[in-house]
Amino acid sequence: MQMPTPNAAVLSKKARIVERLQSVLPEDAVIHDPTETRAYECDALTAYKCPPLAAVLPASTEEVAAVLKICHEEGVPVVPRGSGTSLAGGALPTADSVILGVARLNAVLETDYDNRFIRVQTGRTNLSVTGAVEENDFFYAPDPSSQLACAIAGNIGMNSGGAHCLKYGVTTNNLLGVTMVLMDGTVVELGGAHLDAGGLDLLGVVCGSEGQLGVVTEATLRILRKPEGARPVLMGFDSNEVAGACVSDIIKAGVLPVAIEFMDRPCIEASEAFAHAGYPLCEALLIVEVEGSPAEIDEQLGLILQIARNHNPVELRESKSPEESAKIWLGRKSAFGAMGQINDYMCLDGTIPVSSLPLVLRRIGEMSKEYGLDVANVFHAGDGNMHPLILFDANKPGDLERCEALGADILKLCVEVGGCLTGEHGVGIEKRDLMTSQFTAEDIEAQLWVKDVFDPAWLLNPAKVFPLGATESRRAA
Amino acid sequence: MTPVNEAELAEAVAAAKGPLAVRGGGTRPIGRPVVGEPLSVAELSGIELYEPGALTIVVKAGTPLAEIEAALAAENQRLAFEPIDHRGLLGTTGEPTIGGVVAANVSGPRRIQVGAARDHLLGVRFVDGTGTIIKNGGRVMKNVTGYDLVKLMAGSFGTLGVLSEVSLKVLPKTDVIASLRIQGLTDAGAVRAMSQALGSPFEVSGAAHISGEAGQGAITLIRVEGFEASVAYRLAQLTELLVGAEGEITHLTDPAKVRTLWRGVRDVEPLHDHAGDIWRLSVKPSDAPGIVSRMPDGTRVVYDWGGGLIWAATAPGTDLRAEIGPYHGHATLIRASEATRAALPVFQPEPVRLAAISQGLRQKFDPRGILNQGLMG
Ligand SMILES: Cc1cc2nc3c(=O)[nH]c(=O)nc-3n(C[C@H](O)[C@H](O)[C@H](O)COP(=O)(O)OP(=O)(O)OC[C@H]3O[C@@H](n4cnc5c(N)ncnc54)[C@H](O)[C@@H]3O)c2cc1C
């Protein structure tokens, strides 16, 4: 993966930059010793590493503003960082950049049940947002699998999703407002406790902008009352096609499950070996979960089971107790861990129209053979967000490159059938160079205009999202 | 000018010598008065792709909303954000188009549960101010590839580009609909009751309050939708939850009547007969009664979104923002004479730095400043 040549002028004035940062932050909030900056050399896309010039850990919006003002004056690129769990290299530093970590900004500022929102500092982890309102039976809906670790900051940066977004939407649908610091240190407020924008929807374009438009320090998030209950069913089929048709029929029937998760045979086998959830060893498995009162759940599940039976399932398992529900979810929740046990893997994230599911799974199977690399599929089927896991051996020369080439082919296939490169993980550096397979030069240019306006000096996370060639003249300016 | 396809639309914009006034069905003349040669997208019409099993529809921007709703209804689906029909309130005629719905980001009572038009918009194609065709988003439900210009286009009132095609997420239509009606609540009492209902697990899909004089003649409505048994259950649970509140509770279960009633809320029917100006405010629900109390005497109001949306009917020429003083949220002057709309900011004035960003974006997308020039101020 190509990264821009570090700016020699910036590298040569490291001492001065560090000194200036130290003048506005407590001593322990400026990390510049090369042995310590290593802690920030990568995110969860661990194949790529580069220690930053320095890392700073401000503890207030004012400190963030002071840091950005200095970096702006010195012409230093800044890479905002939440918890560093990005799978796309979104938080990967360059050697001439300052990592701005928001981990110390983790307070709950306001909880308001009457108006159904919570205001938090963005370094707070996703799960601990729900944790703060749980005792009153409320929750924050977007639930990425990484929710124990990832921060609201990164969720906003990537517009993250989760297993329950079929019903509740992704981050952007649950974000009411932010406090954000622009690259020159100006603090702005977008949105608030009210709904929708009074002018252009700037909040809408900031969400998912991968740390390139501003540093988000506070967020107002919609919270919801927990449903009375939830219950899953598990169904096994002897082909991916049939499972795909079943998903489509469920959706068409007018039930809106909170989650429809799909696993294929390689994934079922791996997670069985690891978690022993008692899954049937079949070609395709669906977990469908519905919510509501006990009677509502019965009614919806009745309809779903009837649809499933029309597709001759090899297994149909309805949960009757919380223990059984947990068991049904166990294998799905351990899928990534199970894969990690047997192999190195790369997790793709393309989205496809649900109608193309059987075709895409078949083509992935063929490509997997051509490349000689196994691919396991586990994904959110209701919304078409695929997660093909390509298994490879990082110690084997050439395997990573082959894996990346296969990944690129799979993502191009997603675009070809009417989908997109990334449904929830973001572009980062990982899919930067594939952007031209989905967008024309004009489509990309229009996106660059937005960055031109928010960050005219092009200093915020500048080497991400867009092909380097498309941004070179701007970054150099 | 009335281009019949996207290429012609692009040519028309590229060839324009002066300002253009972009229109779809012309049923939502919201904004500052615009001068310019009329550019209609009404001929860019038709459903391009509808996949009920994928919950998505792709349509050309000039497609009549009614045509889309009919196609969806045939598959037992709908646009869940329940776009308001502005014709009654604004005294307009003509056919609302989907482009207008998106450009004005219009939603109805169900916005409180499922989100606004912007939350259901999956992708756009549009022509910028130089005549270049640009696309963003797509037709899948989860997509974070590049910046979300889809959100930026929703509610941009044709000032960043002329929409040629949009794709939308659709949802299943519900079987059964019913409503609770509470009579005689004060505004503050109504917002409290609506908050309780919306904060319950009983999946309220609408919460509105038609204000009366000190509660006299006031009506508060709470809507539930879904499967039959579930609706009955939730209606009962909500009643139990709210019996403590003052006011008399009745159940409305005749589906035709309940639908008509909520269409009335969506389209703000109680204010149709008003002769003066109409304002629309988005605020924190619990702030709403206080804000309304600072409005001039005689102002009539309807609350939707559990109190978060206020429709206010004022005397012509009233600067409502000045009357209510500082508040959080935004106010839009939806209906007023041209003179008033030229004199008062129609959209909420933004703080200096954000105004500069909005202006900067318009300048990039429309460097000649020819698209609905000045409409948003
Ligand atoms: C095991 C595992 C499972 C995962 N499952 C999911 C899943 O189910 N769904 C999903 O969507 N993602 C998932 N992810 C991806 C990842 O967790 C998300 O992208 C997450 O939102 C990143 O949050 P973070 O705080 O770690 O952000 P980081 O990795 O630190 O940063 C992510 C991006 O946000 C930007 N950013 C960070 N802070 C700020 C800020 N304050 N202001 C502006 N921009 C900022 C960064 O520059 C970067 O571009 C998973 C990752 C792992 C490792």
CA separation for the pair A55, B102 (Å, rounded): 42
The closest residue, in CA terms, to atom 45 on ligand 1 is A211
pTM of the model: 0.97
CA separation for the pair B342, A320 (Å, rounded): 64
Indicate if A289 and A380 belong to the same structural domain.
no
Specify the CATH number for the domain of residue A93: 3.30.43.10
Residue B292 identity (one-letter amino acid): V
Q: What are B133's two structure tokens?
A: 């065709």
CA separation for the pair A391, A408 (Å, rounded): 14
Q: What are A94's two structure tokens?
A: 């360059």
Give the mean pLDDT of A418-438: 97
CA-to-CA separations, A300 to A168, A243, A313, A354, in angstroms, rounded: 18, 19, 18, 21
Chain A residue with minimal CA distance to B128? A446
Residue ending a domain, among B239, B266, B293, is B266
A252 to B331: CB separation less than 8 angstroms, yes or no:
no
Specify the CATH number for the domain of residue A414: 3.30.70.2740
A256 to B330: CB separation less than 8 angstroms, yes or no:
no
Indicate if B261 and B297 belong to the same structural domain.
no
User: Is B377 within the bounds of a domain?
Assistant: no
Reported as a single tens digit per residue, the pLDDT across A333-346 is 888 888 878 788 89
Quickly state the pLDDT bin for A426 (edges 50, 70, 90): very high
Indicate if B275 and B241 belong to the same structural domain.
no
User: Is B361 within the bounds of a domain?
Assistant: no
A114 to B192: CB separation less than 8 angstroms, yes or no:
yes
CA A55 to ligand 1 center in whole angstroms: 18
B376 to A199: CB separation less than 8 angstroms, yes or no:
yes
Give the mean pLDDT of B9-24: 97
CB of A123 within 8 A of CB of A215?
no
Q: Which of residues 144-183 of A touch B (CB under 8 A)?
A: 158-159, 161, 165-166, 169-170, 172-173, 182
**Greater model confidence, B168 or A336:** B168
Indicate if B46 and B132 belong to the same structural domain.
yes
The complex's ipTM works out to 0.97
User: Is A355 within the bounds of a domain?
Assistant: yes
Chain A residue with minimal CA distance to B156? A200
Residue A379 has a pLDDT of 87
CA-to-CA separations, B293 to B106, B186, B278, B312, B352, in angstroms, rounded: 26, 11, 17, 12, 29
Indicate if B220 and B285 belong to the same structural domain.
no
Indicate if A278 and A208 belong to the same structural domain.
no
Give the mean pLDDT of A361-379: 93
* Confidence check: pLDDT of A419 > 80: yes
Tell me the average pLDDT of chain B: 96
* Confidence check: pLDDT of B134 > 70: yes
Indicate if A194 and A97 belong to the same structural domain.
no
Give the mean pLDDT of A1-10: 92
Atom in ligand 1 nearest the alpha carbon of residue A161: 11
Indicate if A423 and A407 belong to the same structural domain.
yes
Q: What are A466's two structure tokens?
A: 């867009």
Under 8 Å CB-to-CB from B329, ≥6 apart: which residues? Answer: A192, A194, A198, B281, B282, B283, B284, B287
Task: Report which of B195, B169, B337 is spatially closest to residue A225, judged by C-alpha positions.
Answer: B195
Task: Report which of B12, B206, B19 is spatially closest to residue B110, judged by C-alpha positions.
Answer: B206
CB of A5 within 8 A of CB of A96?
no
User: Is B65 within the bounds of a domain?
Assistant: yes
Indicate if A402 and A356 belong to the same structural domain.
yes
Indicate if B228 and B277 belong to the same structural domain.
no
Q: What would the DSSP string read from start to end of B280-310?
A: EEE--GGGHHHHHHTSPTT-EEEEEGGGTEE
User: Is A338 within the bounds of a domain?
Assistant: no
* Confidence check: pLDDT of B62 > 70: yes
Lowest-pLDDT choice from A110-114, A228-232, A253-257, A313-317: A253-257
Q: Which of residues 39-68 of A touch B (CB under 8 A)?
A: none
Question: Side-chain half-sphere of A171: how many Cα atoms within 13 Å?
Answer: 34
User: Is A324 within the bounds of a domain?
Assistant: yes
Torsion of CA B233, B237, B240, B245, to 10 degrees: -120
CA A111 to ligand 1 center in whole angstroms: 24
User: Is B364 within the bounds of a domain?
Assistant: no
Indicate if A121 and A218 belong to the same structural domain.
yes
Indicate if B99 and B129 belong to the same structural domain.
yes
Q: Which protein residues touch ligand 1 with a CB less than 6 Å away?
A: A 43-44, 79-87, 90-91, 102, 122, 144-146, 150-151, 153-155, 157-158, 160-162, 210-211, 215-216, 336, 424-426, 461
User: Is A251 within the bounds of a domain?
Assistant: yes
Quickly state the pLDDT bin for A430 (edges 50, 70, 90): very high
CA separation for the pair A78, A68 (Å, rounded): 8
* Confidence check: pLDDT of B83 > 80: yes
Q: What are A360's two structure tokens?
A: 């895409």
The closest residue, in CA terms, to atom 23 on ligand 1 is A154
Residue ending a domain, among B206, B231, B266, is B266
Residue ending a domain, among B225, B250, B266, is B266
Domain count, chain A: 5
* A contacts of B199 (beta carbons < 8 Å): 113-114, 116, 138, 225
Indicate if B279 and B243 belong to the same structural domain.
no
CB of B323 within 8 A of CB of B348?
no
Chain A residue with minimal CA distance to B131? A442
**Residue A254 near chain B (CB below 8 Å):** yes
CA A87 to ligand 1 center in whole angstroms: 7
Residue B27 has a pLDDT of 95
Quickly state the pLDDT bin for B87 (edges 50, 70, 90): very high
Indicate if A187 and A283 belong to the same structural domain.
no
CB of A83 within 8 A of CB of A125?
yes
Quickly state the pLDDT bin for B214 (edges 50, 70, 90): low
Task: Tally C-beta pairs within 8 A across A and B.
Answer: 263
Chain A residue with minimal CA distance to B231? A296
H/E stretch holding B203: none
Indicate if B108 and B159 belong to the same structural domain.
yes
CA separation for the pair B46, B55 (Å, rounded): 18
Q: What would the DSSP string read from start to end of A160-218?
A: ---TTHHHH--HHHHEEEEEEE-TTS-EEEEE-SS-S-SSS-HHHHHTTSTTSS-EEEE
Indicate if B214 and B306 belong to the same structural domain.
no
Give the distance from residue A36's alpha carbon to the nearest chain B alpha carbon, in angstroms: 32
CA-to-CA separations, B76 to B70, B72, B120, B176, B259, in angstroms, rounded: 10, 6, 17, 12, 16
* Burial label, B180 (beta-carbon count in 10 A; 0-12, 13-18, 19+): buried
Q: What are A172's two structure tokens?
A: 């952007």
Domain count, chain B: 3
User: Is B351 within the bounds of a domain?
Assistant: no
Which residue is associated with the tokens 């259901």? B120
Share of chain B above pLDDT 90, in %: 95
Reported as a single tens digit per residue, the pLDDT across B273-315 is 999 999 999 999 999 999 999 999 999 999 999 999 999 999 9
**Residue A465 near chain B (CB below 8 Å):** yes
CA B152 to ligand 1 center in whole angstroms: 23
Q: Which of residues 359-398 of A touch B (CB under 8 A)?
A: 380, 383-385
Q: What would the DSSP string read from start to end of B241-261?
A: HHTTSSSEEEEE--HHHHHHH
Containing structural domain, residue A471:
437-476
H/E stretch holding B355: helix B352-365
Indicate if B100 and B16 belong to the same structural domain.
yes
User: Is A191 within the bounds of a domain?
Assistant: yes
Indicate if B114 and B222 belong to the same structural domain.
no
* Confidence check: pLDDT of A304 > 70: yes
Whole-angstrom Cα Rg for chain B = 21
CB of B172 within 8 A of CB of B137?
no
Indicate if A429 and A347 belong to the same structural domain.
yes
Residue B215 has a pLDDT of 64
Quickly state the pLDDT bin for B131 (edges 50, 70, 90): very high
Containing structural domain, residue B292:
269-343
Reported as a single tens digit per residue, the pLDDT across A89-128 is 999 999 999 999 999 999 999 999 999 999 999 999 999 9
User: Is A124 within the bounds of a domain?
Assistant: yes
Indicate if B248 and B338 belong to the same structural domain.
no
Lowest-pLDDT choice from A99-103, A166-170, A209-213: A166-170
A190 to B226: CB separation less than 8 angstroms, yes or no:
no
Indicate if A154 and A79 belong to the same structural domain.
no
Give the mean pLDDT of B89-109: 97
Nearest neighbour of B146 by CB, restricted to A200, A228, A427: A427
Share of chain A above pLDDT 90, in %: 85
Q: Which of A98, A150, A170 to mutate to test the pocket of ligand 1 (most atoms within 8 A of CB)?
A: A150
B52 to A427: CB separation less than 8 angstroms, yes or no:
no
Report strand pairing: A78-81 vs A98-101: parallel
